[in-house]
Every structure is written in C-alpha cells, then in structure tokens.
Structure 1
Amino acid sequence: MDNQFAGQLNGKQKAWGFIVLLPLYFYVIPAVVNFVIYMLVKYGVLPVDQNMLGVYLNLFSGLLSLICAYVIFKDFIKDNFIKFKEHLFENVAWSMTFGIASVYIFSIIANIIINLLIDTSSHSAANQTLFETYLGSSMLWMIVQSVIIAPMLEEFIFRGLIFRTLRKYNKVFAHIVSSFVFGFIHIYTGLFAGDLSQLAYLFSYGLMGFAFSLAYEKKGTIFVPITIHMLNNFIAVAIIVFQSIFH
C-alpha cells in the first residue's frame, strides 16, 4: 500500500514534475547556466579554466534545479521531513548502518559484474573521473554540490517523483525504472561521447539507486535515502581527499 509513505504528490505536482522539472533538470537549466558562464568568460568576469567552469556549471545547475523541485514538491517534502523527524535517531542510525551497508553490498556485486564485462584497468567510470578532476579544482564547491545539493535533488526526482508515481501501478517496475534512470544519468555523458564501456557502469550506479529505493520502501520517508546518499557521497569525497594527501 502506498500509504506507508509520507506525503502525496497530486496530479498537478506529478504533471509539473514530469513535464516541467525533468526537462529543466536534464537540459534547460544546464543549457542556460552554460550560456551565462560562456558570456561571463567572454567578457572577462570569470577566468578561462575549463575545470572550474565545469564546477560552476554543476553547482548552479544543481542549485537551480533543487529550487525548482522544492517549489513544485514543497508540501510533499515537508510531510516527509516531519515523518523523518518523528523517529530522528532511529532513521539516522539506520541510515548510517543498514542503509549505507546495503549501498556497499550492492557496490561489491556491481564491481564483480563490471570486472566480468570489461577491463577496468583501461576503462574507468567517466562520471567518477570527471568528479575527481572537479574536486581537485574546487574542493569546497564540489563538496557542497555532491554531498548536499545532488543527494536532495536526485532523491526528490528519482525516488520522490519517478519511484512513487510508478509504484502505484507496480512496485517491482518502480524499483527497476527509477534505478535504471538514476544509473543512466550518471553514465550518459561518457556513453554519448562514444565510450560504450560506460554501459557496464550502469550496474554500479543502477544498483546504488536500487539501494536508495529499498531504503525509501523500508522507512517511508524520502529523507532516509537522502541521508544515505549524502553519507555515501561524503565517504567517497573523503577517500579521494585522503588518497591525494597520502599518495
């Protein structure tokens, strides 16, 4: 039953989500921000540093998309936050133990599959490589983007909008589709650049998305997968930073 979940998205909110928010998130906002950055570089306001421009593009595209998501889903988000706070310690503790553990279990499974499909010594996840490059250019802004903005935005879209909408019709289908789309947005840049090996990494990001949707299914509030997502990204950033320090 869908009533195990906090909050409801009405027909108008779903329509705004699918018809307006998704195009804004996938294309319109990044295109507008990219144009603004181009003009600022052209007139000397921003320095010509490709990596920093990529950081700014990700940061402001994510922030604007998150604001749009909040405006559309405001009541839904508030209801979910209220349920999260009702059992705050339990939800945080579960997220930091069983929740993050499930992410790593699925990550191990994904890595086994990936290693069977491709030679990981010569093919890496383009999204991860780009993330590490941007992190080296601006640690502060990438932490804000990857640990705060991206987890909230992605969970509102992939679990809040897509998963909840589809789950009304079929629970298994909802898990599969939301996880697949979540995985695809993390590989499509490299894939469209012609690197077909990125398809293997669909297992990595897709199974991660599946862990998030399972957590949402278990706890009934979107802020549990958000917490797990934030923690996962924070650990990833910390590992990269420590590796760079002690390398």
Structure 2
Amino acid sequence: MKQSKEVLGKPIISILAGKEIGKVKNFVINPDMRSIEFMVVQNDQWDFGIKAIPFKLVEGLGDYAVTIESENAVIDLADIPIANELLSKNIQIKGSRIISRKGQHFGQITEYYFDPETGKILGCVLDTPDAISVLPETSVITFGKEITVISDEGENPLVSDEAFLSGKADEEPVEHVDVPVSSPEPAAPSSSDGLDLEELIGKTLSANLYDPSGELFAGEGTVITAEIVNQAKAMGSNKALELALKVAE
C-alpha cells in the first residue's frame, strides 16, 4: 500500500535502456474504476504532447524510482480516447470534500492510499482535529471533481490510520466531529497538490487551451506568462491542471 506523495516526483527508470526517462508529474484518475489509470511523465527534453504511462505497464514502485520495461510504455495521451475523457473529468481526490448522501460533512481529503500492483484507490486520508483518519474506499459512492460522496449506511466510516494499515478498519471507528463548512472556496492549485504553476512560466503550450465558456484562452505554441498562470488559477483547479498538462515537455 502506498500514498500518492510517495510516488509523485520520483524518477522513472527504463529497465531495458538502463536510464532515467523522466519523473512522475501527476496521476490521471479513473473515478469509475476507482484507480490510477495513467502516470503523467515530466521530461523537459521531449517534444509537444502530454506523455504518460498506463499504470498496468508499471513494473515497480520502489523507494527510489518507478520502473518500466522500456520507453515503449510511454504513450501520447492525445492518442488515447479514454485519456482525454478522464482529463476532462479532472478527478484529483486530494482537496475533495467528503459529504455523505444525506449531506453530513466529514472533512477534506489530504492524501490517499492505493494498491501499488493495480493502482486501485484503497482509502482517503483526512486530517481531523484529533488525529489522522482514513475513509476506506468501500464507503465511497462517488469520486467527483470537488466532492466525494459517501454512504450513510452503518456507523461512522472513518477509522484511525493505524487501524486501516493493520487491516482492522472495522474494529476502531474514529469519533466523528462534524466539520463546519461556511462559504468554502475552491483550493488554489499549489505545489502541495503536485502543481506549481509558476514553474510553467516561459514554457509553451502543446495544445489549445479554452476558457470555461469555450472561448480560446491561449493557443498551441503560446509562451506561458505570469498573466496566463494567474488567469488559469482564477478559472479554478480544473483549468489549472489542464494548463499544467498541456505544457510542452
């Protein structure tokens, strides 16, 4: 079992070539399969396009690096229909608020656990007032862009981190304290979300970028400026991620 932060930023090593081909930039989540579908690759030497590795082609997730058999595992996401669909859904999990079917608020997800063999999401981490708690994936109804909806069935779904990791999630429920949500504001993309948009300034776009109304915001080949970064941030986390993914590597 691993957390996303244990993999993001790690070097990616080709076993056959015996060299580093890039670093893990981000994950593309499949909310229907409840798993990591692709790892987005960062390599400043590559041409235009968003490059990624299907999770099923990952050989290993070690303490030092992610390994793949060869560079043939790297694909252009523009060539994969499901990838474009998942990018448009922009499910990040981290930063999402947890709301029950009946509207009770449990807090905000700060991290998540996944199976290193399959990429399946196993549990979502919350920093509650008293301790770190985990929401097992089995309680989730929907992984959405901003809200993770959970079932109201049974007792409090949150368990301690220790109980979750030991496999005793059913034995140690965490006392729930309802977290007030008054006028919540969307979390701005930041380095803690795997995004540091200021680092994109001076780079170029590999594809057209449109604003929420469908108007062209910045065309392919445009050099990213501080103004473009600030405008993308103002459009919300969805557009900020799209900007990061459409940067020429």
TM-score by length of 2: 0.27
Greater share of helix: 1
TM normalised by structure 1 equals 0.27
Q: Which has the higher strand share?
A: 2
